[in-house]
Structure formats: structure tokens, C-alpha cells
Amino acid sequence: MPSASSLLVLMLLLGAPAPGAPPPPGKAAPAPKTAQPSRPAKASEKKPAPPPSGGSCAASAEATEPMQCNTRTVADLVKSVQEAEAAEEPEEEWKPAPLPFTWDVPRVLDIIPMSDVMEANGFPVKLSAVLSAERPEVILQHMVDRFAQAGLYLPPVEHQPQLLREPQLTALDPMGLISYTFILQPNPNKTTTVILGETNVGARRTPDSDVAPVMPGASAVLHSRQEAARTLAYTVGTPEEEVRAFYRKQLGGSGYQEREPGLYRKGTDELRVSVHSGEAGQTAVVIIRRTATGDEDTP
């Protein structure tokens, strides 16, 4: 929000009358509540108000016109405002403080082992999953209530991305910049698998591109990192065979050998390239890079 001195300068620059200035032509000044007798002023006694320090002002020939100040006066005011703002104490840096939220799934039967922390498109993501004996609709309402109790922001339904067939819901901790997402997967035995994800949206870093070369024109590029492998996924408007030829040339030139269709190795470094045709002429590309073990690195 601009300071009072900043608003004063803007008023001068825009030609707005400052507080206490005479009213513009055509508008009469409000009459005082109590008239005070005074001696009529002579024309010779009319004197313009002294100019601000560092500038000069001149009264207009017409008494109804406001006083005109030269450019130097405005410049001096701007300078004084800048000096005053520079002397103000700097604002304290805002540091995110997460809200005290913990997952609470009703009627948990088992905990499903999953990767602890991974990286998705530069965001640190923590995943976990549980098996519940409760129905999906009951879990959904329970989790919505938990989000509300913790003070999380729950976007409206039309702003909730539904990337899977299974229902999912996301809430945001606006203080700690952490998003919480759960996905409900009904099972044939009347149980529900609940996948829980926490994403630190305030700690994003530029995603690495050290998995494999990316074709020109790629879109929706996604990098993920786990302990055992790194993954690169994207779509491109290039036919499948051209994509495969691109990786044969790129990886072959870097010393990789294609042991089988889509599987490249150089020493213990292994890349598996999967290419599939998608909708609207797009080709989906998924590349997994990992370290080969055992006899996998032998020809």
C-alpha cells in the first residue's frame, strides 16, 4: 500500500488538488459554520504562498485557477519521498510455517509400503498408502472434515483436477505452502486403498534434464526421481518411428547399445525408452534410467 507521502506526489503529478487547496472552477467551497468578521483584503496585500524548498510556484492570473509549480518542485518531493522510504526499516522476511496437519484415515487395516520421498517436475513429493475397511464415500467426507478442521484451503470442485478415474481431492496449506492430495481406489473385497501425497510447492527447484535428450517440440515434460531410477515423460507431435529413430541416433552417438527394442545400455547405465501413439496425433514418450545390476551389463 503506498505511503501518505507517495499519495501526495501522485496527486501533484496527476494535477489533483492537495488537501487545503482551493476548489476547482465551478465548485464553491463550503461555507464555514460560524462566520468570523474580518477586514477586507486589499489587492496589494494578496501574496502567493511560499514555494516548497527547492522549487518555485507562481500564482495564476485568474484567482480561480490553482497555483502552478515548476517541475523542480515535484522532483524535490519525489526525492524526499524516496529518501523517507529508504530510511524505513525493511519488512521482515516471510518464512512459511506449516499448519499442524496429519493424515487420519478411518478404519485402517494395513499400511502399504511406498517410496518415501520422490521428485516430480521439481517438486518434492512424499507418498504413502493405507488399506481401509471403510467405504470411499465415507472416507471422502471424513477427509474433507479433516481439511476444514486444520484450516486448509479447499478449492471448489470445478478447480479440482481429476487426472484419474478414481476420486481424488487436494487441499492447500497457505501458510506452509504444502498441498495434500488423497486418491481413493475401491477394491473388489469392499476395502478401499487410500493413496496419500504431500507436495512442498514452496520448495520447487529447476528439474534436472539428465535422464535423456528431449525431442524438439515436446510438451508436458515431467521429470521424477526415486532412489532406484529417474523418469522422463512427455508428449510430442511426432510419429512413433521418428521418435525411435531420434533416440537410436542420440543414444547411439553417446555410446549406448540397443540390446533389444527400446533398451539401451552403456556399462551399468540403462535406459528404457517406451513410445506409444496417443490422441490428436500426439506420441507419448516415457524413459526410465537406472543402474543395471548383476549380469545385466554383460553383452
Please check whether residues 138 and 199 belong to one and the same domain.
Answer: yes
C-alpha cell at 41: 483584503
The pLDDT, as a whole number, for residue 200 is: 87
Q: Residue 115: is its pLDDT beyond 60? A: yes
Q: Which of 89, 121, 144 is the last residue of a domain?
A: 89
Total-model pTM: 0.47
Please check whether residues 259 and 174 belong to one and the same domain.
Answer: no
C-alpha cell at 267: 556399462
Please check whether residues 196 and 144 belong to one and the same domain.
Answer: yes
The span from the CA of 171 to the CA of 151, in Å, is 10
pLDDT tens-place string over residues 116-174: 667 666 678 888 999 999 999 999 999 999 999 999 999 988 888 776 778 899 999 98
Provide the CATH number for the domain around residue 260: 3.30.1370
pLDDT tens-place string over residues 54-90: 444 555 455 555 555 554 555 565 566 667 766 766 6
Please check whether residues 114 and 85 belong to one and the same domain.
Answer: no
pLDDT tens-place string over residues 260-291: 999 999 999 999 999 998 878 899 999 999 98
**Domain coverage including residue 166:** 108-203
* Mean pLDDT value of segment 294-298: 51
Query: Residues 33-53, buried b or exposed e (16+ Cβ, 10 A)?
Result: eeeeeeeeeeeeeeeeeebbe
The pLDDT, as a whole number, for residue 54 is: 45
Please check whether residues 150 and 188 belong to one and the same domain.
Answer: yes
pLDDT tens-place string over residues 33-61: 554 555 555 544 555 555 444 444 555 45
Contact predicate 25/64, CB 8 Å: yes
Please check whether residues 195 and 152 belong to one and the same domain.
Answer: yes
Contact predicate 271/262, CB 8 Å: no
Would you say residue 77 lies in a domain? yes
Contact predicate 182/195, CB 8 Å: yes
Please check whether residues 19 and 75 belong to one and the same domain.
Answer: yes
Would you say residue 147 lies in a domain? yes
Tally of domains in the chain:
3
